[in-house]
Amino acid sequence: MSKPWTEILRAKTEIDAGQYDRAVGRLAPVFERHLTREDDDARLAATSLLAHARYMNGNQQDSVRAMQRVYEFRHDPGAEAGLFKAVAEVWIDPTKAIATVEAAAKKRSYPSALLIRASARSPSCVSHIKPCIDPSGRKRLAIRGIVLGKHNSVILGKLQAHCFAYVIAQHRGDSAASDAHLAELLPVWPILKRYHDCL
């Protein structure tokens, strides 16, 4: 594996652990020193992760600038680069994130694509008040947790999905579904109270 991709994967691990500044510090020099025009996929992945890490760290302006650079790429990305791009798009443009994940899935299948797609679809579900997570969907979330492990990003994605699903169930008057989603959220309720606008 090349030096840029090794650093990109290390940065993704740091982002999953909530170490956003560390990931930015790792990615910025890699992007500037090691990547050439010939390695567009690595450049796209690094730029996407930079945008994502800066967004998660609350640095909105730098995140927007990085996303502008992401959209300057005109090549057809490989599956891996496409997934990194989708990760950055989830919080900025969920519709584009879904399209990016679908395009990547046609080239190669990764379990992480399922979680990215679920996260991208969640805001859309709330805005249109459509069913988001039915019983089979909850089962798929549990399976993804087993496959993908207990990284912070996986836990955050599951919590986000349950938050949105709770809101949808409340709007639909489905008390059984809202209780089921609330039961998933109660163990971390003290943390969620700090982000009360989620519910």
CB atoms within 10 A of CB 71: 12
- For the entire predicted model, the pTM comes to 0.64
151 compared with 84, residue with greater pLDDT: 84
Which token pair is 174?
């489905």
- The pLDDT value recorded for residue 141 is 46
CA distance 157 to 29: 29
**What residue segments make up the domains of the chain, in order of their start?**
3-110, 127-198
In tens, the pLDDT along 159-171 reads 767 777 777 777 7
In tens, the pLDDT along 116-131 reads 887 777 655 555 444 4
Contact between 41 and 77 under an 8 Å Cβ cutoff? The reply is yes
pLDDT over 90 (residue 82): yes
Q: Determine the CATH number of domain 3-110.
A: 1.25.40
8 compared with 142, residue with greater pLDDT: 8
Find, among 44, 29, 38, the residue nearest to 85 by Cα: 44
Contact between 138 and 167 under an 8 Å Cβ cutoff? The reply is no
